[in-house]
A and B are shown apart, each in its own frame.
Chain A
Amino acid sequence: MKGVNSKNFLGSLVLGSVLGYFALLTGFWYALVITGFVSGLLQKKLVHAFVALFLAGVLSTLLVLLPLFKDGLIRLMEVVGAVIGINGVALLLLTLLISGLMSGAGALIAASLRSFKSL
């Protein structure tokens, strides 16, 4: 990404993923907004903040779900999808999208506030 401070970007990504992972374990999904916010404070640029923490949200969710894949997560989601009328893989992607948006939204707010302060 043009003008990306890769150190900060990576820092946000890693921090966001680690915090996000632990936040998800609490079962309170909205906590990703907070972890996104905290990790987003490392970023100045809004777009960079959003992208980094969106990815962090996705990554942390994948980390939480990873052990379940070998247990048959895809098979299960196909069944759940059949019941509610949505493709099972699409449901999983939706899960990742929601996580990304929560984390990214937090980061967007944090980066904006940080910019205000630096003005």
Chain B
Amino acid sequence: MLRIAGVVTGVTLVIVLILVGELTPLLVILNPQNGVERNAQNLVISNQSYSLPGLLHKVTVIQDVNGVYHIYASDDHDLFLALGFIQAKNRLFQMELFALTGLGNLSQMLGSSYNGYDKFWSMVGAPLTAHTDWQRVLANATKNPLDNLTVVALEAYSQGVNDYIAYAKRQHVLPFEFKLLGFKPFNWTPVDSFAIQELETTLEFGDDALKFALLYHVLGNETYALIPTFSPIQSYYYAGFQGAPNAYVLRMSEHTYPVNSTLASLAHQVLKEWDPPPFLPFAYPDTHSNEWVVSGNRTNTGKPILVGGPVLSFSLPAIWFQVQLVDPNYDVYGVVLPGAPVVVIGFNRYISWTLTDTQAISSGTFFWDQAVKDGKYYWNGSWQPVTLHVINGFKVNWTNLGPILAQNGTNALVMSWMGNLYSNDIGCLLEIMKAHNWEEFRSALRAWFAPFQNFAFADNSTIADISPAFYPIFNSTSGLPYNPGSIMPGDGQEYISGKIPFDMVPQVVNPKAGFIVSSNQRQVGPAYPYWFGNTMTFSPGFRAMLEVNYLETHPLVNVYDMMTLQSKNYTDYEAALTLPYILKDLSNSSDPLVLQALKQLRGWNYEMYANSTAASIWFFTYMYLFNETFITFFYKTGILPTYIDVFNVSGMGGSFPKTSGLSSLDVDLAHIIITGDAKPFSNLSLSTLLSRAVTEAMVHLKSYPNFTWGHFYGFYFPSILGVSSLSVGPLSRGGDYNTPNDASGGGPQSNWPAGGQSWVMVVSMENVSNSYGVYPGGQSENPASNLYSNYVSIWISGNYLPLYFIPSANQFPSSLIMDTIELW
């Protein structure tokens, strides 16, 4: 009996274990030989050697004491292959996640809950563009050196990534996330790198024109007071064209196509679908990045200094990966994106460069009211067949203008997104990486069409900035074109007739001022002869004003001054501009709460320090004044509550949790405070509005035992897996929406902003080896690694790391080496 029981028990145990293995991933995950335990090997930092298929010569990779990889190769092929291998070794899961995001295939990895995103992204056209871009590069490779370079780099890079995948499979050290998700990594191809480029293109991808159309639908011409074409505040335009507004441009801007209720409803529907998944690397960059260059006659060394601070959503692992790439053609240092083998922001021995969003021309996203019936669209008096694309299993119809986003009856809302234009950004950056001077740099950018970016530049004797892109010119068969910053008629009367010529895109070289600032503010003044957008998309410009003011008042600066300005200057320039008016306006108040607030504000120096209570009073006063003025106006006019999901806005770019921003309104509010007139938005006097705002602010703040600014402002670095224990923060720090150290880029998905200057870099052109930079994250994506988030504490304290720019492996000081990897 006992024996039978023994057999039965044994067999039952085996069956139970098999069932556990079949029904749960437990046995796959915990398998001692090839489960997650094996990934501990990835944590080892030591000198290693790998034999890689496809490598032509030996490559030496040195990881410096800060974790940065320096790759020394004999030719381009080996250089990019090694980069692919090293990047995959550190970031494979993130790379594949990004590629699937760019290809609209996230549900393949993360499950059906991402179907909505995949559908939207497929509909937008980006996956299709990634494929067609690569096919075009491949087809042109024999006759176009830029495309040929791209093919060499991407094919070698893909091989390097796949070499790592093969190695990791053999050694059972694929990132544990794959094992947990039960997802097998796909082999990398150049299309995946172009999918990453498409993700980058979302830096200029906006729905503001739809919002404008809804506002105009409700407000009519009053919209132009709410969304002025030109800022009444801005005075610094890096590329000039100050002066009286160009009459044609102004007339065009205030000539908006009136949409009917059906189109308004379609616009509303699309706006509600627009939000990207929260972990997207470029999810909420908006209007926050910084760049400036200072000429040699204003620096202590006599050579230019370049400063870069692109604001992107934060994540752990961070979006950037820091490298130096060296071979006979390249010797370049900077940050690369996971999955694209190009230094996006960085320097070589001769030049340095950085990027910010232009925020121009409706973020390159245009919408049309087009008639579509029975599989045909109407254009120029005739009906043409729509083109059906099946992307990721989703059917998307395209007209001549772009994808149909929504349709009701014969009314269709169609989008033209410049991100769907052919643009070999990877090739451009490969050329930039080896440029020697401004001419070569500028020439490489002729092929850059999207996303719309400002490129700051410095070499030994030149400072410059240029905003190259395919900026469309609109024309109309019936005279004045309609405002492209709203929905336009899609029957053929209005059309894109070309692009702003390259020589006319915003640019400046060695300006008299001795510096250039391009921090998302409008690049060109009102006299610019082309339609370049309205105040809805550009930054209100207060950061740029601060940076310009600092540089104007400091005739001689050094790299340390620039680091301090970028990371430790917490002056809110909007406060500096408007608070004197507020204090004057409230000077007669006898309300005890107002008097209490005024007492603190009078002694305040506009610094948004974490330990300042006056900073909190300013911020909440401003935010409640915003609400008193605009939210009340929105309710009065019927915009709210009808469009609450679209216009749930707050001041300072949407600095209240779970709200969004409208740049125009921040410009408007500053103007209202300065002029003392809130009309047409409110019939109340500014004093009344201000008294209410201050009172609300004080009541709110007094509900906290301690209301120093650090209690409300800080940074959160979320794990890419969404696991709170693997995230870092929130960590308080000074600054606000109007300072270079801006946390508002993270957007409304959490109470603590999860975005900011994703890479801070100060390059001295006197000797690029004396340059500094850091990004909040770490080189490894493995949360158990010491290199997962080790830069965060440095970044949060406003400090930098030296950027070791060493020309050869032999010259690398041993004291700076963490480990050496030989690839052969």
The residues of A with any CB-CB pair to B shorter than 8 Å are: 24-27, 29-30, 33, 46, 61, 64-65, 68-69, 71-73, 75-80, 82-84, 91-92, 94-95, 98-99, 101-102, 104-109, 111-113, 115-116, 119
List A contacts of B27 (CB < 8 A): 29, 98
Judge whether B6 and A30 touch: CB under 8 Å. Answer: no
Cα of A16 to Cα of B669 in the assembled complex, Å = 78
Residues in B whose Cβ lies below 8 Å from that of A106: 10, 14
Number of B positions contacting A (CB below 8 A):
42
Once bound together, how far apart are the Cα atoms of A92 and B40, in whole Å? 13
B40 to A27, Cβ gap below 8 A? no
Q: A30-B17, A108-B13, A109-B7 are in contact. Are A72 and B784 (CB under 8 A)?
A: yes
Other contacts beyond A76-B782, A78-B784, A98-B27: 4, CB < 8 A: A30-B17, A30-B21, A83-B721, A112-B3
Given A24-B32, A64-B32: A101 touches B37 (CB 8 Å cut-off): no
User: Across the interface, do A108 and B36 meet the contact criterion of CB distance under 8 Å?
Assistant: no
Asked, given contacts A30-B17, A76-B39, whether A108 binds B10 with beta carbons under 8 Å apart, the answer is yes
Q: Which of B1-53 contact A (CB under 8 A)?
A: 2-4, 6-7, 9-11, 13-14, 17-18, 20-21, 26-27, 29-41, 43-44
Indicate if the CB atoms of A104 and B7 lie closer than 8 Å: no
- Taking a contact as CB atoms under 8 Å apart, the answer to whether A101 and B36 are in contact is no
Residue in A78, A95, A105, A113 whose beta carbon sits within 8 Å of that of B37 in the complex: A95
Assess the A104–B13 pair: CB atoms within 8 A: yes
Main secondary structure of the interface of B (DSSP, over half): helix
With A68-B37, A80-B36 as known contacts, state yes or no: A115 contacts B3, CB within 8 Å: yes
* B726 x A82 contact (CB < 8 A): yes
- List, in ascending order, chain B residues with CB within 8 A of A75's CB: 40, 43, 784
Chain A positions within 8 Å of B11 at CB level: 105, 109
Q: Do residues A33 and B14 form an inter-chain contact, with CB atoms below 8 A?
A: yes
B172 & A27 in contact (Cβ 8 Å cutoff): yes
CB neighbours (8 Å) of A105 from chain B are 9-11, 13-14, 17
| Nearest 10 Cβ contacts at the A-B interface | A112-B6, A108-B10, A109-B10, A105-B13, A71-B40, A68-B40, A72-B43, A76-B784, A73-B40, A82-B725
Judge if B180 is at the interface, Cβ distance under 8 Å.
yes
Q: How many residue pairs at the A-B interface have CB separations less than 8 Å?
A: 124
In whole Å, how far is A106's beta carbon from the nearest beta carbon of chain B?
7
**B177 — nearest CB in chain A belongs to which residue?**
A83
Residues of B within 8 A of A27 (CB): 31, 33-34, 172
In the complex, A73 Cα to B36 Cα: how many Å?
A: 9
Task: Return the CB mask of B173-193 against A: 1 if under 8 Å, else 0.
Answer: 000110010000000000000
Does B278 count as interface, using CB distance less than 8 angstroms?
Answer: no
Q: Given that A78-B784, A82-B726 are contacting pairs, would A25 and B6 also be in contact in the complex, using a CB cutoff of 8 Å?
A: no
Residues of B within 8 A of A30 (CB): 17-18, 21
Q: Looking across the interface, which residue of chain B has its beta carbon closest to that of A64?
A: B32
Option from B6, B26, B784 in Cβ contact (under 8 Å) with A111: B6
Q: List 8 A-B contacts (CB under 8 A).
A: A68-B37, A72-B784, A98-B30, A101-B13, A108-B7, A112-B10, A115-B3, A119-B3
CA distance A82 to B784 in the complex (A): 11
Cβ-defined contact, B32 with A99, below 8 A: yes
Of the candidates B10, B21, B34, B721, the one having the most CB atoms from chain A within 10 angstroms of its own CB is B10
- The reply on B783 being an interface residue by CB < 8 A is yes
Q: Closest B-chain residue to A63, C-beta based?
A: B32
Question: In the complex, which residue of chain A has the Cβ closest to the Cβ of B28?
Answer: A29
CA distance A75 to B782 in the complex (A): 11
B33 near A84 with CB under 8 A, answer no
- Most chain B beta-carbon neighbours within 10 Å: one of A26, A75, A106: A75
